[in-house]
Amino acid sequence: MNIRKQFLSASAAAGALTMLLLASPAGAQTRRVEKNFKVDGKPVVILHNPSGRIHVKAWDRNEVVIVGQYTGSRLLVETEQADNRVEVVTRVAGPPSPSSPADLRADFEITVPTEAELQVRTDSGSVTVESVHGDMSFDTVAADLALQDVEGYLVIKSVGGSLVCTRCAGRLDATSISGSFQLLQPLLHHVRLQTSSGNILFDGSFLSRGIYVMRNYSGTIEVRFSNQDSFDVRATSLYGLVINQAPLVPDAHGTPAPPPGMARSLVGSVNQGLARVELSSFNGTIKISKRE
Amino acid sequence: MHCQHFEEMLAQQPDGPLPLAAADHLDTCLRCRLLREDLQAIGIAAREWGREEPTPPPRVWAAIQIQLQAEGLIAEPSPHGRGLYLQPAANRGWFAGWLTAAPRLELAGAYLLLLLIAAGLAGYRTSLPANPLDRPSAAISAPALDGLGPALDGNMQRVVASFSEYDGSVARSLRRNLGIVDNLIAVCEKSVREHPGDPLAREYLYGAYQQKADLLAVAMDRSTLEIK
């Protein structure tokens, strides 16, 4: 029995080694590119990278540092600086041809001044941005976004990628088809989220004068409030449910009641109703929950 | 013939028969083929739509204008009225001016086409008589709209198919999301048929079409046509 086990282990090890060798052809060495750009004030950093992991972080220096790693022999990383504009573009050389995902993938570590503006376009992989306080836009197909401690006007267009925004401040406009949105401890005064089949979670305070519009077709929209929050709310689900834990009083600001129809609707105010919250879904569930 | 020459030729005679060289070019260039098909579809839609619904709601024009401005295809509203003013087309018809806006013409065409569809839906409903029962639910499939959906789907499929040579994960994501949006449109259409008087149901259907337009734009933007 032991001999058989040893044989099986040896076979497995040999198989794994073979797979490893097959998966690492001689030409698939990792290439590395590093570029430094001196900038002044608030630069704009533009990155087009079809696939891979992108990590952007901030520092106090007036310098943009781009570090890229990739294995595809046909990948080209092109950079350009024009005054305060820094562009990084990943391209595939030659005509399109069947490629493995690894051939198209480039990973980037980017360090930018805190006030830098970002424009990122990617298709798959992931994007993480930390502590950048400039406006930023993201255009993705399937890449997931994680934004942390960022501040500015944030614009996100995604097809299937999701967003997790932790302690984001400023203004956020995000649209997706199947991606989900999670806003954790937000400090956003203007939020507009739309997804078709994704879920939306807003777990944080509604700032006074803030406007929060969240909309989906299916899935769940959940907003969590505290007793100190002050907002007007209008929640409508055409075919789904509206579940409310908020101590609503009739809206004192003259917001008209929804017209009679088939939708489940709820209109009212919490405290003075300083912020405005609009939640709508086609057949999803809307939850207005009290934060634990 | 190069793409630029083809576009110039198309600008001169958008509806005319193609010269032999242009026809040969079409056989080998997917981009120009899609361009011509989009323009033909827009032309057909405009004519059919004109018969069915002469005046689209102003918000549709506003949406088209905003979108085209966002795409950088137009600058200021036309001083001559409602027509779209296109930056490079000072002394041509607006339709011809579009052609100089390549290479993102397909994109704008897709937007316009889908907005036309949405406008057809919204406008048709807007003009319904007070009693919705007087106009059956066939409004959704009014003749003006027949065939446009499949034509668009065809283009979408071809664009998405071009991804499989390049990046499978993007193609998979686009296909999956296209399925989601198509399903959404079907559900919303059903809702509008069942509740023709409900503005909310119509609004969701309009939104679903806009999502399809956005998805088509993303697909075209990412297609190998641009990578080339």
Out of B162, B204, B222, name the one closest to residue A238 (CB): B204
Q: Which residues of A touch B215 (CB under 8 A)?
A: 159, 177
Query: Domain residues for A202?
Result: 162-292
Q: Is residue B18 domain-resident?
A: yes
Chain A neighbors of B200, CB-CB under 8 A:
236, 238, 261, 263
Instruction: Measure the CA–CA gap between A191 and A195, rounded to whole angstroms.
Output: 13
Q: How far is B87 from chain A (nearest CA, A)?
A: 25
Least confident of A174-183, B123-132, B212-221: B123-132
- Using DSSP bridges, classify how beta strands A264-270 and A231-237 pair: parallel, antiparallel or unpaired: antiparallel
Give residue ranges of A with CB < 8 Å to any B CB.
50-51, 92, 95-99, 101, 104, 123-124, 141-142, 157, 159-160, 175, 177-178, 196-197, 217, 236, 238-239, 259, 261-263, 282-283
Which range among A53-67, A257-271, B102-116, B168-182 has the greatest average pLDDT? Answer: A53-67
- B177/A159 CB distance under 8 A: yes
Domain contains A8: no
Task: Let me know if residue A141 belongs to a domain.
Answer: no
Instruction: Judge whether B208 lies within some domain.
Output: yes
Query: What's the domain count of chain A?
Result: 1
Q: pLDDT value at position A84?
A: 95
pLDDT for position B74: 57
d(CA B2, CA A279): 51
Mean pLDDT score, B204-208: 88
**Which chain B residues touch A142 with a CB distance below 8 Å?**
169-170, 173
Residue A108 resides in a domain = no
Query: pLDDT-based confidence at B128, cuts 50/70/90?
Result: very low
Residue A41, domain member (yes or no):
no
d(CA B228, CA B226): 5
Q: What is the ipTM of this complex?
A: 0.81
What per-residue confidence (pLDDT) applies to B216?
A: 83
> Taking the complete model, does pTM exceed 0.80, yes or no?
no
Least CB-CB distance to A141: which of B199, B200, B222? B222
Give B-chain residues touching A236 at CB under 8 angstroms. 200
Residue B7 lies in a domain: yes
Q: Cα dihedral angle (A219, A161, B165, B114), rounded to 10 degrees? A: 60
pLDDT exceeds 60 at position B10: yes
Q: Does residue A268 lie in a domain region?
A: yes
Cα–Cα distance for residue pair B211/A281, rounded to 1 Å: 15
Asked if residue B60 belongs to a domain, the reply is: no
- With a cut of 70, say whether residue B199 has pLDDT above it: yes
Tell whether B167 lies on the interface with A, counting CB pairs under 8 A: yes
**Residue at B177 is within a domain:** yes
Residues A111, A130 contacting (CB under 8 angstroms): no
Q: Which of A99, A177, A196 shows the shortest C-beta gap to B166?
A: A99
Residues of A in contact with B169 (CB under 8 A): 51, 101, 123-124, 142
Could you tell me if B22 lies within 8 Å of chain A, comparing CB atoms?
Answer: no
β-partners of residue A277 are A212, A233
Query: How sure is the predictor about B135, in pLDDT bands with cuts at 50, 70 and 90?
Result: very low
In a domain, A157, yes or no: no
Tell me: pLDDT of B100 over 50. no
Cis (ω within 30 of 0) for the bond into B103? yes
Amino acid in position A100 = S
Predicted pLDDT of residue A214: 97
Answer with the residue of higher pLDDT: B93 or A163. Answer: A163
Highest mean predicted confidence (pLDDT) among A185-199, B86-100, B116-130: A185-199
Which residues of B are less than 8 Å from A159 in CB distance?
Answer: 173-174, 177, 215, 218
| Residue B217: strand, helix, or coil | helix
Calculate how close chain A gets to B140, using CA atoms only, in Å.
19
Taking only residues 189 to 218 of chain B, the set having a beta carbon closer than 8 angstroms to any beta carbon of chain A reads: 191, 195, 198-201, 204, 208, 211, 214-215, 218
pLDDT on residue B75? 55
In a domain, B186, yes or no: yes
Predicted local confidence at residue B5, as pLDDT: 80
What was the pLDDT predicted at A253? 72
Q: What is the pLDDT of residue B65?
A: 65
Which domain, by its residues, includes B17? 3-55+90-227
| A209 token code pair | 């004068």
pLDDT at B85: 40
B177 with A177: Cβ contact below 8 A: yes
Average the pLDDT over B166-176 and give the result: 79
3-state secondary structure of B172: helix
| Residue of B165, B169, B227 lying closest to A101 (CB–CB) | B169
Residue B158 lies in a domain: yes
- Binned average pLDDT, 10 residues per bin, chain A of 292 residues: 49 46 55 95 94 96 96 89 96 69 86 97 96 97 97 96 97 97 97 96 94 96 93 93 90 68 82 94 94 81
pLDDT of residue B126 exceeding 70: no
Tell me how far apart the alpha carbons of residues A182 and A162 are, in angstroms, rounded to a whole number. Answer: 8
pLDDT digits 0-9 by tens, B30-55: 777 777 777 776 666 656 554 544 45
Within-domain flag for B66: no
* Contact in structure between A225 and A291 (CB atoms under 8 Å): yes
Q: Which residue has the higher pLDDT, A160 or B11?
A: A160
Identity of the residue in A141, A178, A236 whose CB atom sits nearest the CB atom of B170: A141
Quick check: is A78 in a domain? no
Q: What is the structure's pLDDT at B15?
A: 65
Does the pLDDT value for residue B151 go beyond 50? yes
- CB–CB contact B227 A96 (8 Å): yes
- Pinpoint the alpha helices (H) of chain A: 2-23, 101-104
User: Does the CB of B80 have a partner CB in chain A at under 8 Å?
Assistant: no
Residue of B nearest to A103 (CA): B167
B179 touches chain A (CB under 8 A): no
- The total of structural domains in chain B comes to 1
Q: How confident is the model at residue B131, as a pLDDT?
A: 38
Residue A216 has a pLDDT of 95
